[in-house]
Amino acid sequence: MASLKPSLWPLRMIPRRSPPFLTALLIATGSLLASMAVRGLLIGFEYAPGLSATTFPALIVTTLYAGPRWGWATLAVALGVGLLNTPRVSADLSVSEVLIMFALSAALTVVVCASLREALLQLDEANAARAAARQSIEITETRFRALADSAPILMWVTQTDGRREFANRAYVDFLGVNYQAAIDFDWRKVLHPDDVARVLQEQVAGESSRTLFTLEARYRRRDGDYRWVRSVSQPRWGPDGGFAGFVGVGFDVTDAKRAEDDLKRINDLLAERVEAALSERDEAEAALRRAQKLDAMGQLTGGVAHDFNNLLTVIIGALDLMQRHPGDAVRRDRMIEAAAGAARRAERLTQQLLAFSRRQALKPEPVEIDRLLNGMEPLLRRATDETVTLTIAPDARGAVANLDAGQLEAAIMNLVVNARDAVSVGGAVQIMTSRRQVGARQIEGLEPGDYACVSVRDNGSGMDAATVARAFEPFFTTKPQGRGTGLGLSQVYGFARQSGGSITVESAPGEGSCFSVYLPLVEATPIAHPVEPSPAAGPALRVLLVEDDPQVAELAQAMLEELGHSVRPVGGASDALAILRTGAEVDLLLTDLIMPGDRSGVDLAREAVSLRPDLPVILSSGYTGETLSAAEGAPWPLLRKPYGADQLAHVIAGVLPPV
């Protein structure tokens, strides 16, 4: 009470609830009697019960301290007593007018006092609510501060201008200053010099966006050690929805950064080791593939040598007979025909070997399946030894597929070699072709349509379901260590898919295996290579012949001279360039593709054309090897060995400018 102002303490005495009945009655009665006593003392006690201004304080006290109902009751009593005692009035007013004026004034007094009492009640309720809210805020702030101070991370709250208005204990401890100094601290003082420009730019962008943003930088701790801190700032909004500042938290991520750096170093080290291991594996696999190819070629060597010996026997024998009987024209013509046929068979066998070793150009073209298989028969029989029975049953007459013949030959050879390895002595391998119509979803990966099917079946040990499921996986093999790379079937699978087809396998333990390659049929005619007629005799040319093999050079020179050309043979690129630089007359350059030294035939041709821009060039080779891509990309024709005079004449006619 001592703290209250003197003018306010009577209001504090006003009860906020109506008092008990007797108390209220006592207040009302006492107030009315007191007003009458005051009137009696002023004008005489005979006039005390009458109506007068002294009644108004009684109404005020009764309404405020006993309640509005008692105020109205006191007014009614006062009016009743006043009517019983005729009031004294002036000569200008009647009694009724005085009563009406008194009643209105008194009623107004009760209404005003009742409103005041109600206002005081509402004011008390508002004060109580304000006090409760203040207490709740204080409790909430205490809890928040306790929670924030117990957190092991840095926490802060900023105002709209960026200044901090709160920081937790971890924040203060990180800086090693008192609370107020921490609130006013400029973080740029402890920011690592290398991070200042970046962080300031990111902070300005983040704060201006008024959205969540993250910063990560190095800050100097109170002990002088720089620590990586990742901060996350979240905008906060006031009750009216307006921007009120940011709430931020900071995490010490130094250990995580170090672990990340260590992990990167470990990953780099592992990557280096994995790369080295993969390189070693690739080298080993390449060596194993070479060994496997050598093994396959070894299987072919005996048979191929036998075939070549037979062919050479025909050629040598025919030449010997022609030398012994030079005048026998009939025998000479027959021997020439036999020798030429044997040479053509030798050429075909060589081309098949080159296709098997992947040294031929790979170009898809319409291929008749049965014709290709029949042409492969000698090579396939040499790939299987005499203890294995090989049966070839082509039954896809007229079936044509658009594919690379060399790839198909290699795929069939792979399947036959695998079948040969799967059977025991006395086993059987069968190669079959047929036309197949494949329906929707009949074979996985195949569209409905007509296909040529090449099947290779053996009566070997067969495979279980688990092995069949992995049969086409690269590097998966059931052969003993060192006998297979696991790439043969995967290469066949890749060839089939690239050709628009697929491959299936049927096998069971003890029942052998059957691999079927499906190739989509095309409406096309297989490319034929008819014998072209001999070209008409052209102009006599001065030919610069570059050939390192003396016998081949002698034969080529003879054919060129037979065609009416003059020839200047040299054995290498350097000699040819020396002649061209002297300004000698040269109308045509015919050069071998592969020669001793550091220049190939393509290199020689480029240098020759740079010296003589209009000089026609013909490249020639029987085995292109690593220079195949360069030869095919060159603008000059490639004359494949062996060749005859007619082929040579056709190529020469093709490079000469039109007359």
Residues 381 and 488 in one domain: yes
- Joined together, the tokens standing for residue 504 give 């299936």
Name every residue whose Cβ is closer than 8 Å to that of residue 480 and which is 6 or more positions away in sequence. Answer: none
Decide: pTM greater than 0.75. no
Q: What is the 8-class DSSP label of residue 627?
A: G
Residue 95, domain member (yes or no): yes
Name every residue whose Cβ is closer than 8 Å to that of residue 606 and which is 6 or more positions away in sequence. Answer: none
Pairwise CA distance, residues 430 & 456, whole Å: 6
Residues 392 and 495 in one domain: yes
Residues 389 and 459 in one domain: yes
Quote the number of domains for the chain.
4
Which span out of 9-23, 326-340, 573-587, 610-624 was modeled with the highest average pLDDT? 573-587
Per-residue confidence band for 218, with pLDDT thresholds at 50, 70 and 90: very high
Q: What is the 8-class DSSP label of residue 387?
A: T
Residues 418 and 550 in one domain: no
User: Does a cis peptide bond (omega within 30 degrees of 0) precede residue 642?
Assistant: yes
Residue ending a domain, among 233, 252, 271, is: 252
Residue 81, domain member (yes or no): yes
Q: Which of 229-238, 357-366, 560-569 has the lowest mean pLDDT?
A: 357-366
Bridge partners of 430? 391, 457
Per the document, the length of the chain is 659
The model's pLDDT over 528-551, given as tens digits with 9 standing for 90+, comes to 555 555 555 578 899 999 988 887
Q: Give buried/exposed letters for 312-345 (b at 16+ CB in 10 A, else e).
A: eebbeebeebbeeeeeeeeeeeebeeebeebbeb
Residues 442 and 567 in one domain: no
Residue scoring higher pLDDT (493 or 527): 493
Residue 264, domain member (yes or no): no
In this prediction, residue 479 carries a pLDDT of: 63
The model's pLDDT over 381-425, given as tens digits with 9 standing for 90+, comes to 877 767 788 899 999 888 999 888 878 888 888 888 888 888 887
- Tokens 């740079």 identify what position? 610
Q: Which of 328-337, 356-365, 494-503 has the lowest mean pLDDT?
A: 356-365
Q: Which of 53-57, 86-90, 521-525 has the lowest mean pLDDT?
A: 86-90
DSSP string, 535-598: PPP----EEEEE-S-HHHHHHHHHHHHHTT-EEEEESSHHHHHHHHHTT---SEEEEESS-SSS
pLDDT above 90 (res 494): no
The model's pLDDT over 443-469, given as tens digits with 9 standing for 90+, comes to 887 889 999 999 999 998 888 888 888
In this prediction, residue 360 carries a pLDDT of: 46
Pairwise CA distance, residues 659 & 650, whole Å: 16
Residue 466, domain member (yes or no): yes
On the CB side of 498, how many CA atoms lie within 13 Å of its CA?
14
Query: Residue 623: which CATH number?
Result: 3.40.50.2300
Residue scoring higher pLDDT (256 or 335): 256
Helix (H/G/I), strand (E/B), else coil: 524: coil
Mean predicted lDDT score pLDDT of the chain: 79
* Phi and psi at residue 513, to the nearest 5°: -140, 150
Residues 402 and 512 in one domain: yes
The closest alpha carbon to 184, from 216, 154, 162, 152, belongs to: 162
Residues 124 and 72 in one domain: yes
Helix (H/G/I), strand (E/B), else coil: 487: coil
pLDDT above 70 (res 8): no
* Phi and psi at residue 295, to the nearest 5°: -65, -45
Residue 194, domain member (yes or no): yes
Residue ending a domain, among 252, 269, 299, is: 252
The domain containing residue 453 runs over which residues?
Answer: 362-520
Residue ending a domain, among 520, 550, 566, is: 520
